Every structure is written in structure tokens, then in C-alpha cells.
Amino acid sequence: MAAATPSAPVARPSQAAAKVKASRTRQKSFRETGGVSVLGRRDRWSTTAVYGAAHYGKSLFWYGGEVLFAFFLTEVAGLTPAHMAGVLAIGFLISAIFDLQAGRILFRRSAGMRRAAGLQSLGAIFSGVALVGVVATALLPFPMRVGWALTTGVLFRLAFAVYDVSQTSLMANATAEVEARSRVAVTRIFASGLGNLSVAVVVGPLIAAERRGGGGVILIALALIAALIAITTAILLNRRLRGPTDTADLHVQSPLKRSGLGLAALWPLFAMMVLMMLGPSLFQKLEPYFATRAFASSTTGGALIIAAAAGVCCGQPLWLMIFPPSRRIALFTVSALLQAAGAVVFLLAPFDAPIAFIAGAWLFGLGNGGLGMAKWASFSDWASRLPAHRQGLAFAIFSALAKITLALGVLIVAAAIHPGVTPEGLRGFMAAGPVLTSIGMIILARRAAPRETGDTLASETMGASPPRTS
């Protein structure tokens, strides 16, 4: 007698509903992208370039906040370090909460590529308006400044949460292969470096203008320019991604996600985000303060910040050529060692040799850019394995952790810039963060980097056939 074939287990109603929802979101993703990458394609760099331009616009806001917000509030607007820390920390924490809420909305609405593109353009518009309000703080009577800076800062963080989470989620829901996500990550970090470089270029003139009492007016003009760039590029990205899909794409099929991977599997990347937003970010926030205290020339101080930003940009083409996805662990390790080496050079440089400080800052930026590329490429690889309706939530948690860590960072900055601090003390703070972060990144690298390459990252979570349509 033939052995009886065991019957398949009957799914419970909740499981069946989850499977139906996951199936619908996979079909939506497949219809929107044609089953292949829209971003990161070798044969269509123009779309990826538009994404890079939009990320450059967003980076002007991000690095403006990273490098200049604290310096602006204390040195231009005249707030005490304690008030500065309160304004920025509250803004970051509220932004983190809103990041999570935005992720929950994306989770419920199963937002795909086109919806995310629309949300990031709306976020850019409101962020630009709020940013101009923040920098207008310096023009108000002093008793009004703390309240105004807090209110406009919170509004900026709320709008930026929508802008950031929706645009960043495109790394997963507008790509279908590991190689495409690596190209998008390189484009993203290169654009970030350009944004950082653009902000760094104005630091020297801003320091000089503030010494003459005109820093506030310059910052308002710069905020208007940054807002115009960010809004324009975000709208261009929205138009590009919401336009009709090339019909040639519809004949290409690739594996789609299954729903077996949970958010808990992304914990090494979440830990990496905390490390990167604490150590290297401390270096960047303290750069303007160190430049004003250590160097009489505003040009030298500006060159120091420019060098770190230039280092981020310089490495991006090399990382993509030398370290394919299969060598992601090596990229993490080499980049971490370069970042730590740059911090050590910066720490040991003699004050009568500014070129040594500049070299250390450049080396720090080179390693930091490599770590950023590896971190974002790995995270988007893992997030792409999640069910489509959970990808927005994953990126929201990633962004929220960054904001919470930055809130802690501004408290450290407030403690570090007390009136009695010396340039030696400041650079000690600046160097310690990147060195400790590099150690942590090397430890986490094996767990964070995808273990498989190609069109499938793990056969147990990918490999479903394209959905059938009637």
C-alpha cells in the first residue's frame, strides 16, 4: 500500500490574512518596478543620478543640522550650551517619535515606490520652510529666541522625518538586486559627501562673518538656497519615479520577497547606526568649535572641515570597484581602520602644523564614507528581504535610532564646549568617538554583512515566483 500523503496544515485566519496582505504588497512592488531595479541599474544611471541629486538636497539639511545647528545656536543666536542642548535634543527625540509614526503609516498603507516618492517631495517642501524659520532665530529679540528656536526646530524635525524615511526607503523598494543596492548606496554616500562639502565650504566665511557680527544674515540666505535645492530635486525625483515604467522592464522577472524575515534580524545594523551617529557625529559637531579655538585663521578652520567632507567623496568610486557585495566585510574592516587612523593622526598633530590636522580629517572622512556606504548597502539588502509592507517600518526604526543617538550626542557636545575647555581637550573628545566606533563596527561587521550575493541574499527568504495576474 502506498503511504498516505500528509495533508498540508490549515492556516489560521490571522496567518491567512497576513499571507494575503504580503502577497498583495509583493504584487504591487512587482507592478511598480516591473520586477527589476528602477534605481541602481547599469543601463540607466540617469534615474540613479536624480536620486543622488535628491539625496544631496536632503544632505544639505542633514549636515547643516549636524555641523552648523549647534554652532549657530550658541555662537550666532547667543544661546547657552544648556539651552542649545535642550533645543536640539528635544527636536531629535520628537523627530524620532515621528519617524516611527511615519513608519507605522507606511506599514499600514503598504507604501510602494511611487507613494514614497510623493511623500519625500512633500517632506522636502515643509522641511525647507521650517529650516528658514529656524535660522531666523538670530533676528529676533533675545527673550524670544529659545521659544522660537524650539518651536521651529521641532517643526523642522517633524517634516524632515517624512522627507527622510520615505526617500531612504527607496533604497529597498526601488531595487531588486544586491548590486543595484550597492550602486545606490555609493551614489547616496557620494551625494552625502557633496552635501557635507557644500556645508563645510561656508563654515570659514561664516566664522569670519560672525566675528564681524553678520553671521545671522548669511545663514538665512544659505538656508533659502538649500531649501530651493532640496525642494527642486525632491520634486524631480518624484516626477521621475511616478512616471510610466519602461515597457521593456515588464518582460524581466526577478525573485520577490517572502515574509519569513523579522525586524529582529536587523539588530546588527541598528547597532551600527547607533555607533555611527554617536562617535563620528561627535567629531563633526565639534569641528567648528575646534576650528575657532585652535586656529586664528578662518581659512584654516574651513579647510579642516572641507578635508573631512572631501574624504567622504573621494572614496566612493573606489569602494564600488574594489569591494563588491561579496567583500562587504572587508569593506567594513578597511574603512573602520582608516577612520580610526585619521582620528589618531588628528589627535597627535602638532598645533603649528595645520596640514597634519587637515590630513587626519581627510583620512577620517575617507574611512567614514566607506563605513557609511557599507552600512546603507547592507541595511537595504536586509530590508529588501522583509515583506514589502514592513520595509517602511524598518527604515523608520533605522532613522529613529539615529535621531535618538544624536539627541544624546548634543548633550555630550554641550558638556564638551564649556568655557574652560582647551583645544587639546576638544580634539580628545573628537578623536575618541571615531576610534571607539571603528572597533565596534569591526566587531559587528560579520553579522551585518549579507552572507550571500547575487540576485538572492538567502534562499530561505527569497526566490518566490512572480505573481500571476489575471
Q: Of 268, 367, 388, give the one whose Cα is nearest residue 318.
A: 367
Query: What pLDDT score was predicted for residue 271?
Result: 94
16-20 — which CB contacts under 8 Å span 24+ positions?
18/259, 19/259
- Residue 123 belongs to a domain with what CATH number? 1.20.1250.20
Hey, which residues does 256 pair with through a beta bridge?
A: 464
Per-residue DSSP letter, 111? -
| Residue 29 included in any domain | no
Amino acid at 195: G
Grid cell 575617507 is found at 366
**Domain presence at residue 391:** yes
Which pLDDT value is given to residue 459? 35
118, part of any domain: yes
Residue with cell 573631512: 308
What is the rounded CA–CA span in Å between residue 132 and residue 121? Answer: 17
Residue by residue, pLDDT tens for the chain (470 residues) are 444 444 444 444 444 454 444 444 444 444 444 456 788 887 778 889 999 999 999 999 887 766 667 777 777 667 788 888 887 788 788 878 888 877 776 655 545 788 888 889 999 999 999 988 888 887 888 888 888 888 888 888 888 888 988 888 888 777 878 888 888 888 998 998 898 888 878 776 776 666 666 666 777 888 899 999 999 999 999 999 887 554 334 333 334 444 456 788 889 999 999 999 998 988 888 887 888 888 877 677 778 888 988 898 888 888 888 888 888 899 999 999 999 999 999 999 998 888 999 999 999 999 999 999 999 889 988 887 887 667 778 888 888 898 899 888 888 888 888 777 888 888 888 899 999 999 999 999 988 876 544 344 443 333 333 333 33
Q: Are 174 and 39 in contact (CB under 8 A)?
A: yes
Predicted confidence at residue 207, as pLDDT, reads 67
- Containing structural domain, residue 327: 44-244+252-456
**Number of helices and strands (H, E) in the chain?**
15, 2
Taking alpha carbons only, the member of 470, 468, 462 closest to residue 176 is: 462
Residue 232 lies in a domain: yes
DSSP 68: I
Q: What are phi and psi of 185, to 5 degrees?
A: -65, -40
**Among residues 308, 280, 346, which one has the least CA distance to residue 195?**
308
CB crowding 27-62: b at 16 or more within 10 Å, else e: bbbbebbbbbbbbbbeeeeebbebbbbbbbbbbbbb
Q: CA-to-CA distance for 404 and 429, rounded, in angstroms?
A: 20
Task: Please say whether the beta carbons of 407 and 93 come within 8 A.
Answer: yes
> What does the DSSP 8-state code read for residue 102?
H
**Count of all residues that appear for the chain in the document:** 470
- Return the residue matching grid coordinates 526566490: 463
3 in any annotated domain: no
Q: Domains in the chain: how many in total? A: 1
Residue 133 lies in a domain: yes
Q: What is the pTM of this model?
A: 0.73
CA gap 453, 326 in Å, rounded: 6
In a domain, 34, yes or no: no
SS3 256: strand
| Look-up of cell digits 530561505 | 460
